[in-house]
Chains A and B, each alone.
Chain A
């Protein structure tokens, strides 16, 4: 059933795409504000990227080159599954190279390679409401956004400081957009937060189950919440990549045996492979990159 003849271009029917497109445009016009949209039931489960998939489907043109990553990697199973979905339903070209992609759908990371004008980064968002774990009711959090009442969030962060001496949020770290809306950047590590603001690409966020779309236009201010005496600091493992020697990329810790040995490798697989191809070799890297292991 899933071929291009049975379904419309990019799967969704035109009326659904128009509805999503209108929501995206309002999201772009009100940076950081969560626009309700009538999320459709997609052929993959809620929680597995249906929001991102709908946003991508509404944005794709036949000429696009699509990259899909999960945890920074192109070859994780869910990324593979979503990439295949669009190969089948939209017939678009796909790529693993960040710089070559025109649309990138991501779960949990922002690529290391800086994005450029003309690119769109689509985030899969599980819980779009930054205040949700402080106040479970939508009726209440909507009022808080309306009144710009973010006191609860500051209280939470401040309680962290008094208990732990620092803000104990490592990912899904909230930002304030253009001094107005507090926004959930999706569960990216806070290491990625500085890339949210001032980015040359269009950043779109899709939450399917929760029926929300929001956006950061290019060059939009997005400031990680903090306090003057406890400023925000992006953090990562205090290592370089063992494969490509990158000192400044976000690292995954990989356990290599049951004796406690471990290594650190770039979570962004394209970034790491490109560096190795360019001759940057870490202590455990091999000159030839990308050999497959089943």
Chain B
């Protein structure tokens, strides 16, 4: 185990994870809005936001897939020590974390079943930047329209077409998070 693996977790998990979840909830409920999220210091290349999401949502019952550029001993050890999440291949993952290129092709991820659409993966996509510029978003959680710097539109449009099945996405950069549930309509601008 790498020495850094033991560091950088929550110091007060009940309260820090509660605050982090509220940010994650607001982000998923209001697609296209950016939310601060912090409380942990994960090892690079994990962003604070991605690391905190993993600490908040993952445990021994949630298989996690690490994209190739994140599948490093230091990340594996950190995730294993702090969450116990089993590290798995994309198709078995309930959560996945990596860059967009890492996670492609995204049709490897679980989209849920017709009668249990909730059994779908949640992707944590690490972004070089996260802004309110980019494709136009409409749908549940959005009063009129929002914009978000998505890595692309086609994959999210294809995912929307699967509704109520489909994966759900968090986009992370630094200590910021945005959500993009499967229900959002995405249009290039």
The answer on direct contact between A and B (beta carbons under 8 Å) is: yes
CB contacts under 8 Å to A, within B17-47, are: 17-19, 21-22, 24-26, 28-30
Q: How far, in angstroms, from A206 to B131 measured CA to CA in the complex? A: 34
Taken residue by residue from 138 to 171, chain B's Cβ proximity to chain A (1 for < 8 Å, 0 otherwise) reads as 0111110000000000000000000110001000
Q: How far, in angstroms, from A23 to B142 measured CA to CA in the complex? A: 21
Give every chain A residue within 8 A of B120 (Cβ-Cβ): 26
Pick from B54-62, B63-71, B72-80 the stretch touching chain A: B54-62
Interface band, chain B: 35 or more
Closest to A214 in B: B118
Determine how close the nearest CB of chain A comes to the CB of B133; give it in whole angstroms. 21
Give every chain B residue within 8 A of A28 (Cβ-Cβ): 25, 28-29, 141, 181
Q: How far, in angstroms, from A277 to B12 measured CA to CA in the complex? A: 42
Q: B18 contacts A61, CB within 8 Å?
A: yes
Give every chain B residue within 8 A of A58 (Cβ-Cβ): 21
Given contacts A28-B29, A36-B118, A61-B15, A219 and B140 within 8 Å (CB-CB)? yes
Q: How far, in angstroms, from A22 to B59 measured CA to CA in the complex? A: 11
Determine how close the nearest CB of chain B comes to the CB of A107; give it in whole angstroms. 22
Contact partner, B140, options A10, A23, A200, A217, Cβ 8 Å: A217
Interface band, chain A: 35 or more
Give every chain A residue within 8 A of B116 (Cβ-Cβ): 36
Is there a chain A Cβ closer than 8 Å to B183's Cβ?
yes
The A interface is mostly helix, strand or loop, or mixed, namely: mixed
The residue among B15, B117, B140, B142 with the most chain A CB atoms within 10 A of its own CB is B140
Is there a chain B Cβ closer than 8 Å to A234's Cβ?
no
Q: How far, in angstroms, from A21 to B29 measured CA to CA in the complex? A: 13
CB contacts under 8 Å to B, within A1-47, are: 8-10, 14-15, 17-19, 21-31, 33, 35-36
Interface residues in chain A, defined as those with a beta carbon under 8 Å from any beta carbon in chain B: 8-10, 14-15, 17-19, 21-31, 33, 35-36, 58-62, 117, 120, 142-143, 145-146, 178, 180-181, 200, 202, 215-221
Per CB-CB distance, the 6 closest pairs between chain A and chain B, nearest first, are A9-B14, A29-B181, A217-B141, A26-B118, A220-B140, A146-B115
